[in-house]
Amino acid sequence: MKKLITWINRIITGVLMVCIVAVAGVVLSSKMSGGMPEIFGYQLKTVLSGSMEPGIQTGSVIAVKSLGEEERTQLQKGDVITFKEDENMLITHRVIDVQSTNSGVQYTTKGDNNNTPDSNPVLAENVVAEYHGFTIPFAGYLINFSQSPNGSIFFMIVPGVLMLAYSIITIWRVLRQVEERQKSNSNEANV
């Protein structure tokens, strides 16, 4: 039984350490890049509308691959891209037509669940990333909650309380073991 508890203790400690290092790495990479955090060249985006359903569900998190300047001009019909609609709004839709004009490459896009194409063509320089099919359903709801004031408090307090409880239990066990050793040593000395 003690070996099982020891292994569970080690596993919990290992998982907590990996989580702490992963979060620190993501935060550090986002600060260094000056923008959105990237993991192996992919950015995680939350889907806020149903325009791409059923392939991409509302509330999902998708991984999109950042594109370089040359890659932005080489997209093809059928590719799913994330582009800037304006400064504060990103949209992920499918390319349904590609046109080369004097001002550069333009893409006509449409959400899979929309009846009509988007009203404005997308200039290649407004394309941010390309979607390759990696989706985590409903995780976006959790991310949006974590970015709200209540979510921030929740995600700071709950892990803190869990770490504190885990530390208290570990310290209590060590103190109990020390007391047991002292009792057994004093009993041996009295015999």
Measured over the CA atoms of residue 66, residue 68, residue 69 and residue 74, the dihedral's sign is negative
Token couple for 13: 């400690």
- Report the SS3 class of residue 138: coil
- Active-site annotation holds for 100: no
Which residues, in sequence order, are CB contacts of 121 under 8 Å at separation 6+?
99, 106, 107, 108, 109
How far is residue 145's CA from residue 190's CA, in Å, rounded to a whole number? Answer: 62
Return the closest-CA partner of residue 127 out of 142, 144, 107: 107
Matching residue, tokens 């991409």 = 56
* 176, containing H or E segment: helix 149-190
Which residues, in sequence order, are CB contacts of 36 under 8 Å at separation 6+?
30, 43
Task: Note the helical H segments in 73-138.
Answer: none
* Catalytic residue of the set 29, 30, 49, 66: 49
Residues belonging to the active site: 49
